A and B are shown apart, each in its own frame.
Chain A
Amino acid sequence: MNKQIIIDGEVVTYRPGQTLIQAARESGIYIPHLCYQPGYHAIGSCRVCMVKVNGRWASACTTLAAEGQVIDNRTLEVDAHRKQIVQMLFVEGNHYCPYCEKSGECDLQATAYELNMQEDHFQHLYPHRSLDTSHAEVWLDRDRCILCGLCVQASAEQDNKHLFTLGGRGTATQLLVNSSSGQLGETNISAADEAVAVCPVGALMKKQSIYSRRSGERTYDKTPISKLEFKA
């Protein structure tokens, strides 16, 4: 028998074992998220999918749906909270949206629009991060990496290549490439790898295909991220 939870006043049915975000998705309800992707194990690191479950904060991607849950999702309070987490991600890296190749196709940018982010709010950390253009098909711009870990999982489990690891700690955490030089050029990554496709931002990018769609005609220019999820 299907069981029920309530999200923003709406009754949502779930199957035992589903997380809040999975149950919501099946019912066409958008819970903002970055490090969660359907088909991947929950990572739980970006904290953008925080919701309030019976008044207590919890991440929707790691919390199992359970009878009796009343959930605040797109309330003013919860969205304001999420916006600040997204702002933290922006000030942590170096994001130059106006001329970024991923602009209009980027989940971070689209989520910021969805949450009505108008300013950075927090002080920029301006980190020094490295750029890796050593490979013929793919480049890695760590300035834009949000350390979500999706490429790590994709490369290990879908591409069977184990090309990435998150290393270091604190703000020195960075995406490491599995080769003796630490450079992409030495690896067998390909532009068709799932690891590249899954990157939610402009960090892992395919060469030779940038700016192929003009500004104004890109994915999120036409449809906000909250709607796009359910188009397919």
Chain B
Amino acid sequence: MIVSIANEYSVPVSEVRAIIDFYHFLSDKKNADYHFYFSNNIIDKMAHSDLLVLQLGERLNSIIQQDPSRVCLDETSCIGLADHAPAALVNGRPLPALNPQSIEEVAELVALGRPLDHWPAHLFQVRTRICRRSWLLNMSLPPGESLLSWQTKGSATILQELQASQLRGRGGAGFATALKWRSCEEQHSGEKYVICNADEGEPGTFKDRVMLSEHSDWLWEGMTLCAATVGASKGFLYLRAEYAYLLPQLETSLQVRRDTGWLGAALKERLGFEFDIQIVLGAGAYICGEESALLESLEGKRGIPRIRPPFPTISGYLRQPTVVNNVETFIHAAAIISKGSDSFLQLGTTQSKGTQLLSISGDCQRPGVYEYAFGETVEQILSDCGADEVQAVQIGGPSGQLLGPQSFHLTLGYEALGGSGSLMIFNHRRSLIEVVNNFTNFFAFESCGFCTPCRVGTALNQRMLTRLHLKQLRQHEIQLLEESVRLMQNSSHCGLGQSAGNSILNLLHDFPETVEQLLNTIGDDNEARLVQALQPAVQLRKS
């Protein structure tokens, strides 16, 4: 099969193999009739996903034994349903909020060989939980409103307004959106591209999924506004494969825009430029959320982050000037241009203006999407979502920070907590080593493998964290762990490796009692005695 693909596309066989091996959802074998991917994020584990996998495995064991091509039980990194944990995908469709009853039902349907189209709809139903609305989510944004504003004011004024709003990217890095758009606008050669990053791979994050399912029109508006402003005629939505089930409704809403003259050829007559958007699916690789890896992936390659500079606004997709923004960023930009930046600027803090969307999951009564003005304290957020006896929270996903109660006074914003899109909550019954171990496994699985410190460091950290969990790690090995993390922070090629050890350092430094209880101290006194016994030899060597 690999050889025929290589021939069809005239690429080396090794390239085809390289790509299949890189993306988690690609394989050179035919998929099983029912291919399950259980989400293995800590939030799913806390909701007993492991037991449910076992239950399903037991029920389907005889079928799998008979014919392995019928069923495959697999796991994968967080599928963006932490508000519906534990969750899984079956042939790309979501199975949210699983429990022993629904697993029983699923096992029955598989045993009967029932096609997915005939499974009861409730099994696939993802309910949208928007739990708090503020500036953005209370708004009504009629299609074309920001585009008409562009038509009257022109690109220069739009860029000024965006700059005045101080909007910063919501994909994590917090780069000023106006600067990005301006840099692309200023390029005078080549075809330009507008790309929306809907890879949303950071475990525990699902706010982009909710925006895509509830407000895709706002996203198309924001991308089209960007295209108008920078002068691009082609746009892409890079959608993570885990969200493939949103494809039909996204295609429909794109078509509605075309039919109503806000996209495609019709735009030419109305506003004097052409722009259309194509949806491209990822294939299971967290690193493809990093913008330059995303561009590589979009070009059909392995998602290895590029050397930067040059940045995408100068040399992006096909080496042409390209804007890459997060889903929420495009939506915010459209809202700011439609409604003006005054009300936006009134919210937030000095360096972080406006509001942001938070994906809240874990030990709380009301998981879901919350819109907060920057400057809100973690404490207030925890009380709003009904979380008590909180031991720690992970803000910004595994690459963010693990905070204990001593830090709950900190506030949302780029100043302190970064442009974090998620909050995972752990109460006092949870084991923090399990949490950090889970994150460490995630990074080892998702490291692209390009650079030494991250490729090797994530693997070393994984082994050391597992041993710490098993109470095997000794005090002196903690230093090795720290060295590995520092090496990754200082010399990794991209943000994945640079941030992969954050939660490890948080655990070591902010939760010393937890770590102390885990250390292997058996025979420590023997060691001391041995050192003492060897003293004369050491002396001799020194003299």
Interface pair A178/B456, CB less than 8 Å apart: no
Q: Does B236 contact A (CB under 8 A)?
A: no
Q: B405-426 interface mask toward A, CB cutoff 8 Å, 1 = contact, 0 = none? A: 0000000000000000000000
> Which of chain B's residues have a CB closer than 8 A to the CB of A62?
307
Q: Does B331 contact A (CB under 8 A)?
A: no
Within A177-205, which residues are at the interface with B (CB < 8 Å)?
Answer: 177-180, 182
A93 nearest CB neighbor, chain B only:
B456
User: In the complex, which of the residues B3, B452, B458 contacts A170, with contact meaning CB atoms closer than 8 Å?
Assistant: B458
User: In the complex, which of the residues A84, A170, A178 contacts B13, with contact meaning CB atoms closer than 8 Å?
Assistant: A178
Interface pair B491/A182, CB less than 8 Å apart: no
Q: A114-142 interface mask toward B, CB cutoff 8 Å, 1 = contact, 0 = none? A: 00000001110100000000000000000
Interface pair B17/A125, CB less than 8 Å apart: no
> Which of chain B's residues have a CB closer than 8 A to the CB of A42?
307
> Which of chain A's residues have a CB closer than 8 A to the CB of B460?
88, 91, 122-123, 125
The segment from A7-15, A159-167, A212-220 that touches chain B is: A159-167
Min C-beta distance of B260 to chain A, whole Å = 42
Q: B449-463 interface mask toward A, CB cutoff 8 Å, 1 = contact, 0 = none? A: 111110111111001
Interface pair A176/B18, CB less than 8 Å apart: yes
Interface pair B14/A182, CB less than 8 Å apart: yes
Within B19-54, which residues are at the interface with A (CB < 8 Å)?
Answer: 19, 21-22
* Bound CA span A159–B127, Å: 57
> Which of chain A's residues have a CB closer than 8 A to the CB of B3?
180
> Which of chain B's residues have a CB closer than 8 A to the CB of A46?
451-452
> Which of chain A's residues have a CB closer than 8 A to the CB of B285?
169
Q: Does B446 contact A (CB under 8 A)?
A: yes
B23 nearest CB neighbor, chain A only:
A169
Query: Contacts A42-B307, A84-B487: A92 and B12 contacting too (C-beta < 8 A)?
Result: no
A contact residues, range: 35 or more
Interface pair B491/A92, CB less than 8 Å apart: no
> Which of chain B's residues have a CB closer than 8 A to the CB of A166?
18, 302
* Bound CA span A63–B493, Å: 12
Within B460-499, which residues are at the interface with A (CB < 8 Å)?
Answer: 460, 463-464, 480, 483-484, 487, 490-493
* Bound CA span A81–B452, Å: 13
User: In the complex, which of the residues B12, B22, B490 contacts A57, with contact meaning CB atoms closer than 8 Å?
Assistant: B490
Query: B-side binding surface: helix, strand, loop or mixed?
Result: helix
* Bound CA span A163–B14, Å: 8
* Bound CA span A33–B143, Å: 54
Q: Does A147 contact B (CB under 8 A)?
A: yes
Interface pair B491/A176, CB less than 8 Å apart: no
Interface pair B451/A167, CB less than 8 Å apart: no
User: In the complex, which of the residues B302, B452, B480 contacts A169, with contact meaning CB atoms closer than 8 Å?
Assistant: B302
Interface pair A169/B22, CB less than 8 Å apart: yes
Q: Does A23 contact B (CB under 8 A)?
A: no
Min C-beta distance of B10 to chain A, whole Å = 11
Min C-beta distance of A102 to chain B, whole Å = 19
Interface pair B13/A47, CB less than 8 Å apart: no
Min C-beta distance of A176 to chain B, whole Å = 4
User: In the complex, which of the residues B15, B19, B21, B492 contacts A172, with contact meaning CB atoms closer than 8 Å?
Assistant: B21
Interface pair A50/B21, CB less than 8 Å apart: no
> Which of chain A's residues have a CB closer than 8 A to the CB of B447?
169-171
Q: A15-48 interface mask toward B, CB cutoff 8 Å, 1 = contact, 0 = none? A: 0000000000000000000000000001011111
Interface pair A47/B493, CB less than 8 Å apart: yes
Q: Does B448 contact A (CB under 8 A)?
A: yes
Interface pair B459/A125, CB less than 8 Å apart: yes
Q: Does B444 contact A (CB under 8 A)?
A: yes
Interface pair A171/B307, CB less than 8 Å apart: no
Q: Does A98 contact B (CB under 8 A)?
A: no
Chain B residues engaging chain A, CB cutoff 8 angstroms: 2-3, 12-15, 17-19, 21-22, 285, 287, 302, 307, 444-453, 455-460, 463-464, 480, 483-484, 487, 490-493
In the complex, the 6 A-B pairs of residues with the closest C-beta atoms, listed nearest first: A167-B18, A173-B449, A168-B21, A178-B14, A165-B14, A88-B456
| Extra contacts besides A47-B492, A166-B18 (17): CB < 8 Å | A44-B307, A45-B452, A47-B453, A50-B490, A121-B480, A122-B460, A122-B484, A123-B480, A125-B459, A165-B12, A165-B14, A165-B18, A168-B18, A170-B447, A170-B455, A176-B17, A182-B13
10 of the cross-chain contacts (CB-CB < 8 Å) are A47-B453, A47-B493, A85-B453, A88-B452, A88-B487, A122-B484, A147-B449, A168-B18, A178-B15, A182-B14
Chain A residues engaging chain B, CB cutoff 8 angstroms: 42, 44-48, 50, 57, 59, 62, 81, 84-85, 88-89, 91-92, 121-123, 125, 146-147, 162-173, 176-180, 182
